[in-house]
Chain A
Amino acid sequence: MAPNDRITELFREHADSLLRMCFLYLKDLQLAEDAVQETFLSAYRSLNSFKALSSEKTWLTRIAINTCKNIMRSKSYREPPFELSELIPAESNEFGQRETRISVSAEISKLPIKYREVILLYYYSEFKTAEVAKILKIPQTTVDYRLRQAKALLKKTLKGVDFQ
């Protein structure tokens, strides 16, 4: 398969979820789009070195997270407050009153980055803890610990959300 076709295929399959993950990482849609673009550019350039030792999803996620971290490390990056209001329309209740419900995305985005990333990778990207450990290059026990801590923090605000 030609590299362009391969990248297009990967993009169609993974770009949305990567973009959402980058968005929750960076809290900035424009930066998230930049990150995704950079991710696929990097992927294109290293298509030949992809050895399929991990899944394409794992590979792309790792590139995306590295890209996000690079962006966050840049001097120009200032973590913005997470504003979902423009993205999530407020819901109307049965009396026609607009009400804002607690947003899972917003609460996750408030977590410290080390907890945010394990929650995103484990629950959103649905990687196993061993894969999360590989992607983040940290021990699996650390992933487990951070997951427990992150869930404890989220449970305070996301009452009733089942973490299964």
Chain B
Amino acid sequence: MSIIKSEINSELNSITANEAILENVLVSTKYEKPKRLPFKKRFIAIAAAVAVLVSFVGFRVYDVLINDYFGQTLSFRVPFEDVTIYSAELTDDGIRISQSYIYTSMSVHHKFDIDSKTAELHFCFHGEEEKGGVRNDLIFQAQIHSAPGDIKTHDEFIKADGLYEIVTIYYCEGHALTGDMGGLYIGEAEKYLVWER
């Protein structure tokens, strides 16, 4: 023990924390439990956890709500750097997605999760050419599978589904999901689209 410590303890030995202080603390906390993390910190913690998860899986998630009728063009705006405008058109072959302002070097994967009223559209960009490359307009055409190996035609779709709502657009960047075109599964969806150029 340092000399100073022993001197202070000796000089101030009459100063002791009395039990009343502890009692006051315990009484004050009688009706409260130790706080959870403040909301802001909890939010940051959760957001950080999600961010880690998202960066691991390679997803960016945006919500877009679009009503779509067969025979009409879906147009929706997505905030993905320069790639901003997409349109989807239902054709005799299925659904055709028109993409403007996308780098040619990006390969794109799409997936529709389809039930009676909703469809989820998933884009997966390979990210290495994001900062360069030549813009080009690409058109992808789709064959729609209601389940792996089960191809539905456009007519079947009309009969089966009618109205579509695209409720969620998922983006994934990087190499986490670089499966072959049409071979991409996201999540546990049983239904997916195979896209062919």
Contacts and interface: CB of A to CB of B under 8 A. Distances in A.
A interacts with B: yes
Interface of A: 3-4, 7-8, 11, 15-16, 18-20, 23-24, 29, 32-33, 36-37, 40-41, 44-49, 84, 87-88, 103-105, 108, 119, 123-124, 126, 161-164
Interface string B39-78: 0010000000000000000000000000000000000000
Nearest to B28: A41
Nearest to B9: A20
B81 interface: no
Contacts, number: 105
Contacts of A36: 17, 21
A37 B17 CA distance: 9
Interface residues of B, number: 29
Contacts of A49: 35, 37, 41
B8 A108 contact: yes
Interface in B1-47: 1-5, 7-9, 11-12, 14-18, 21-22, 24-26, 28-29, 32-37, 41
Contacts of A23: 12, 15
A164 B7 CA distance: 13
A105 B11 CA distance: 7
Contacts of B36: 48
Interface in B142-176: none
Contacts of A15: 17, 21-22
